[in-house]
Amino acid sequence: MKFRDGYWNIHKSVRHLPKVAIVDVQKGEGKLSMFAATKKIEHRGSTLNTAVITTEITAVLPDVLHVRSYHFKGLPKRGPFFELAEDQAKLLAIETNKNSFAACSKDLSAHVATTGPGDVQFTYKGKVLTSSAGLLGGHAIVHDKEPYQVEYLNLGVGETIYGLGERFTAFVKNGQVVDIWNEDGGTSSEQAYKNIPFYLSSKGYGVLVASAGKVSFEVCSEVVTAVQFSVPGQCLDYYLIGGDDLKAVLHNYALLTGKPALVPPWSFGLWLSTSFVTNYDEKTVNSFIDGMQDHEIPLHVFHFDCFWMREFQWVDFLWDQRQFPDPKAMLKRLHERGLKVCVWINPYVAQKSYLFDEGMEKGYLVKNPDGSVWQWDRWQAGMGLVDFTNPEAVRWYQGKLALLLDMGVDTFKTDFGERIPIEVEYFDHSDPMLMHNYYTYLYNQAVFTLLEEKRGKHEALVFARSATVGGQKFPVHWGGDCSATYESMAESIRGGLSLSMCGFGYWSHDIGGFEKLATPDLFKRWVAFGLLSSHSRLHGNESYRVPWDFDEEACRVLKAFVELKCTLMPYLFAQACRTHESGLPMMRAMVLEFPSDPVCAYLDRQYLLGESLLVAPIFQDDGKAVYYLPKGRWTHLLSNKEVEGGSYQEEVYDYFSLPLFARPNTLLPIGNNTQQPDYPYNDKVTFHLFALDDAKEAEAAVYAHDGTVQAVCKIKRDGTVYEVAVEGELKNWAVCLRNIDNVASVSSGSLSHSAAGALITFAAQEKECRIMTA
């Protein structure tokens, strides 16, 4: 929201109360408070009829400062509020200087002068990050009745801004106007399903605006040297987050807002959907599964979309008996075929559903201000909305889902959660403007916690579309309704990378596009992208997404990439465990790993899958890939070709390959199972070593399915000597020295040669080896 008319003036409809003159700075226990008058104080009479803007600085975590700015503080505080780490007085150190104060949390400091306008400068280890301009920010009143609290944080030359949720606009947010307001807008507009009022700066800090409601960001779009953000009302809370690099900032953000849960290994396999409005019954489902088996394509999860329930009565959580006469027996048969089962749900209850009557009678549905049930006809006729602020309504909703879990369903696709009304009343009297965005948190939390209770920790996951701050704790999230075009495929990856910059650890998308029908060419290219994402689902709208509907080659391509992903599971699950431990995403924008490379600042058509594999999907029908490799020796995982980085590359790929490169100095654990994602990763694992520089050490861990470390392999290079050491339990393991054939001797194990390089295989009891290369 813009308050200024150009740089010098304020819009005629706005009365601006800036922080003009500091009148007092107070040092308290765990708090530094600054009081700034909104005009110059020339004499005692100037103190009359003059507003004061108060800024309070506290500490939450090491390198995380909480800034609160307000005009009036006497208003009642209505929730909901994000679940964030609480302020800790003992973490704030206040330094007193001659003309200023510094409020410090570990290496992050906020500097406040004792005179002048109410500016605040933020530094990390003495380096200036940004500053709050008192004369720009403060309080604004629009049309003499709409109050807003406003902040401007300065941007430096070349500074770039990322995040603000799963946004399908340009990856770098400079120049954009962003309103944090969840909407069901597809992937081709400025609207977003997952709005997160958090941005990450290339300068090495993050900012979270702690308002669950509508936050408006002007990223270099009002004042071109600042990010301006505003919230309705009298008070603005935000968190300034520091760290040694962008990954450290994201880790601190995860400590503040919550880390992603660890999802089960089976979820990384291939998901196949019935699609949305297609006709299907048990016979159709079996034909899909049989077809995958006939084409020898490994399949791991089958998803039933909306019409597993009868039309006009979503949601009632009852199988449509016309199509599925014995669902319990069907689910048992699917499990016997080695499949997990997911079913579609949402929080909307159609008037025709028996749940509507139950919910209305017991007061479990959101109400109008007059006490009647809120209803409309969008999506489902006369539908109501489950009131998740009512604990009894949560238990009621969970009880219906529990019956499905007892029947044999394994997980849920928690669709929707964005179309939330604002002129309503909630059970706990939450502010409906704040609940619009926050509703999705309560919805997905209710489903996820039930799954944890019924299935156990690390076995729970949902497949969610909407989100707000903290939603990363309830994975997985997918990118919504994309179209079957290369442009929409590019939109999807931009959205996923933007979301990942907000601490969301796992992300998926509809392979082949949701709307329309992909060409065989596009489908095959999207398959490669989809299977090299953290989670992989075939899903569509009016048409099926089985590969033989495209062509026979599509079946072979899908088979190849599913099998590739299965072999990569020792590496991928290790990365998932680190995502759970650190809060860092599995799919990472290039700038996150290479912040000092200026080329990487704008790259949004390639990414790192984990910390060691670079993926560059192909976006054109001639098969040409245009991608960038940072400096170093990169090795193509499939062809074994080494490429010296530091420049753009152009190549043409067939459908069975794409730019997929191992990072220099990488030790990559690869399994031997091409059919399942959930096998013992410490059995017959091969550690592939890529381009290890002299005097460097590479390390790789192998994890059990519960997230505990089973073994760690380390390889250190000293000239022509490679020292291998293993701690923990491995069974029949091996080491492959990629592109090294001239091995003179090994101190243990059995040496052979493969097309990829020298291969040394070991028995379980062998833990060390000295490899001499010629």
Distance, in Å, from the CA atom of 686 to the CA atom of 730, rounded to the nearest integer, reads 10
Please enumerate in sequence order all residues whose Cβ is within 8 A of that of 44, keeping only pairs 6 or more positions apart, or say none: none
Could you tell me which residues are beta bridge partners of residue 699?
714
Report which residue type is found at 728. G
Which whole-number Å values give the CA distances from 94 to 62, 129, 238, 665, in the listed order? 14, 19, 19, 43
Distance, in Å, from the CA atom of 32 to the CA atom of 133, rounded to the nearest integer, reads 18
Other C-beta atoms closer than 10 Å to the C-beta of 363 total 14
Tell me if 373 sits within 8 A of 353, measured CB to CB. no
Backbone phi, then psi, for 699, in 5-degree steps? -140, 145
Average pLDDT rounded to a whole number, residues 247-265: 98
Distance, in Å, from the CA atom of 619 to the CA atom of 625, rounded to the nearest integer, reads 7
Distance, in Å, from the CA atom of 495 to the CA atom of 500, rounded to the nearest integer, reads 9
Among residues 415, 431, 459, 510, the one annotated as catalytic is: 415
pLDDT grade, residue 77 (50/70/90)? confident
Instruction: Give the tens place of pLDDT for each residue, 531-581.
Output: 999 999 999 999 999 999 999 999 999 999 999 999 999 999 999 999 999
Residue with tokens 């660890």, as numbered in its chain: 262
> What pLDDT shows up at residue 45?
93
Could you tell me which residues are beta bridge partners of residue 111?
102, 121
Tell me if 331 sits within 8 A of 409, measured CB to CB. yes
Distance, in Å, from the CA atom of 624 to the CA atom of 123, rounded to the nearest integer, reads 44
pLDDT grade, residue 673 (50/70/90)? very high
415 an active-site residue?
A: yes
452 an active-site residue?
A: no
Helix axis angle, 552-567 to 520-531, nearest 10° = 10
Average pLDDT rounded to a whole number, residues 484-505: 98
Could you give the count of Cα atoms lying within 13 Å of 535 in the half-sphere of its Cβ? 29
Q: For CA atoms 618, 527, 490, 641, give the dihedral sign.
A: negative
Instruction: Give the tens place of pLDDT for each residue, 422-463.
Output: 999 999 999 999 999 999 999 999 999 999 999 999 999 999
Average pLDDT rounded to a whole number, residues 32-52: 95
Average pLDDT rounded to a whole number, residues 82-90: 97
Which whole-number Å values give the CA distances from 37 to 102, 140, 232, 279, in the listed order? 20, 14, 21, 67
Other C-beta atoms closer than 10 Å to the C-beta of 29 total 8
Instruction: Give the tens place of pLDDT for each residue, 129-149.
Output: 999 999 999 999 999 999 999
Q: Is 336 helix (H, G, I), strand (E, B) or coil?
A: helix
The pTM (predicted TM-score) of the whole model is: 0.97
pLDDT grade, residue 697 (50/70/90)? very high
Q: For CA atoms 167, 173, 176, 181, give the dihedral sign.
A: positive
Single out the residue of 219, 21, 233, 223 nearest to residue 135, CA to CA.
21
Among residues 237, 387, 459, 481, the one annotated as catalytic is: 481
Could you give the count of Cα atoms lying within 13 Å of 741 in the half-sphere of its Cβ? 6
Average pLDDT rounded to a whole number, residues 717-732: 97
Q: Where are the beta strands (DSSP E) in 86-125?
A: 93-96, 100-105, 108-113, 120-124
Tell me if 321 sits within 8 A of 330, measured CB to CB. no
Other C-beta atoms closer than 10 Å to the C-beta of 578 total 18
Backbone phi, then psi, for 571, in 5-degree steps? -75, -50
Tell me if 375 sits within 8 A of 360, measured CB to CB. no
Tell me if 147 sits within 8 A of 137, measured CB to CB. no
Sheet strands side by side (includes 721-728): 697-703, 709-718, 721-728, 768-773, 743-746
Torsion of CA 738, 739, 741, 744, to 10 degrees: -70
pLDDT grade, residue 371 (50/70/90)? very high
> What pLDDT shows up at residue 774?
87
Among residues 387, 418, 459, 491, the one annotated as catalytic is: 418
Instruction: Give the tens place of pLDDT for each residue, 578-619.
Output: 999 999 999 999 999 999 999 999 999 999 999 999 999 999
Q: What is the mean pLDDT of the chain?
A: 97
Single out the residue of 468, 430, 395 nearest to residue 215, CA to CA.
468
Instruction: Assess whether pLDDT exceeds 90 at residue 62.
Output: yes
pLDDT grade, residue 764 (50/70/90)? confident
481 an active-site residue?
A: yes
